[in-house]
Amino acid sequence: MRLLQPLPLPAGPAVLDARPELLALLDGAAAFLPLPADAPDAADALATSLRVGRPIDERCALVVSTSGTTGTPKGALHSAATLRASAEATAQALGGPGGWLLALPPHHIAGLQVLLRSLAAGYDPVVLDVSDGFDPSTLPAAVAAMTGPRRYTSLVPLQLRKALADPAAIRALAELDAILVGGAGTPPALAAAARDAGLAITTTYGMSETAGGCVYDGIPLPGVQVRLRDVDPHTAIGRVELGGPTVALGYRDLPDHPAFAAPGWFRTDDLGTLTDGVLALVGRADEAVSTGALTVVPQVVEAVIETLDGVAACAVFGVPDERLGQAVAVAVVPDGDGPDVDALTAAVAERLDRYAAPRHVLLVDELPVRGPGKLDRRDLQRRYRDVTATGLRHTGRVIDLRR
């Protein structure tokens, strides 16, 4: 009988002490649950909820926790075959196997896959210590220590943004054959700035349930399939479903979960379009704002606002409104003096429509993230509720939450 075993993984070089277990995972010799060794309370909660020490499907080699958009992480079940398929398809898409640099927490799927891809290729990964956050000044020495015929790393957009502010980090990253950027949407302006700096970035899309990124720059990895369901005939936007050899077996203790209703397929909560086989994401079904019976996809509005003067970064979300049901709000990280709010509203109304224009603007020092760098819109909604519940007086539609 196969039992689920804990696999504590520290966010630093000591993670390589788990090399035997990681190789056993690739071989399917046991079933492991990666846990954050640096956060014992979170590790204990995951171990309890995902039933460490209890029997598990004999096919399963890995249970990896989701990032928990609903607040309740689930455990995606992977076999050694799904993990090897992911590593092989990634190497094929990037030009061949090679060594990897780990700059992400290793218990999440993106970080874990960096370790597994490097080991599957026969190279020990180089590991940054990110227990206290990502420091781009450590990149030059780390890149210099990498081995292999090709060299790769994986970053989240926030890390890429920090690296672009450090000339030495840029020079180091420019030596790599590919830099995967995922875990959250990569703003087009950030991607353009990275490519202009000479970085070989590849934007990725995937999740715990697909063994990490399985669509690179909109194109599925070898063997991966993409289809849309419930397509709107006017916009061509539909719910994204992913299929192929990297798809998980299902969820731990949730055998009838609707996301895995079609064998070999995973039904995501993401919305997108397919044009000549290229996937373009437009947002998430569970993040769309319903305002006055009209639907606003946050990422579409963000794409407009991010082009405006005075905006370093932004995030659109819905807030309660007695008349509309929900109103569109935006949190802005100012660049310099920040944006002109009237110009911001006018730009969205002109390029999209009046109903998509934000009625509330929050000024913040940084955008909140969860898990491996995913934008946390729920936290922004909570901040808005907390501030408005206190009766805070603010100027017009602007609420300044900067420190």
Average of pLDDT values for 242-254? 97
Whether the model clears a pTM of 0.85, i.e. scores above it, the answer is no
The whole-number pLDDT of residue 393 equals: 46
- More confident of the two residues 386 and 309: 309
pLDDT band at 218 (very low <50, low <70, confident <90, very high): very high
10 Å CB burial of residue 400 (0-12, 13-18, 19+) is: middle
Lookup result for tokens 């690739």? 26
Domain ranges for the chain, please list them: 4-283, 289-400
Q: Is the pLDDT of residue 72 over 80?
A: no
Question: Are 250 and 236 a contacting pair, CB within 8 Å?
Answer: no
The whole-number pLDDT of residue 389 equals: 72
CA distance linking residue 245 with residue 81, whole number of Å: 8
Q: What percent of the chain has pLDDT over 90?
A: 74
CA distance linking residue 84 with residue 120, whole number of Å: 8
**5: which residues sit within 8 A by CB, 6+ positions away?**
30, 31, 32, 33, 52, 53
CA distance linking residue 68 with residue 370, whole number of Å: 9
What six digits make up the tokens of 197? 């700096």
The whole-number pLDDT of residue 395 equals: 46
Cα 207 to chain centroid distance, Å, stands at 7
Is CATH 3.30.300.30 the right assignment for the domain spanning 289-400? yes
Architecture of domain 4-283: 3-Layer(aba) Sandwich (3.40)
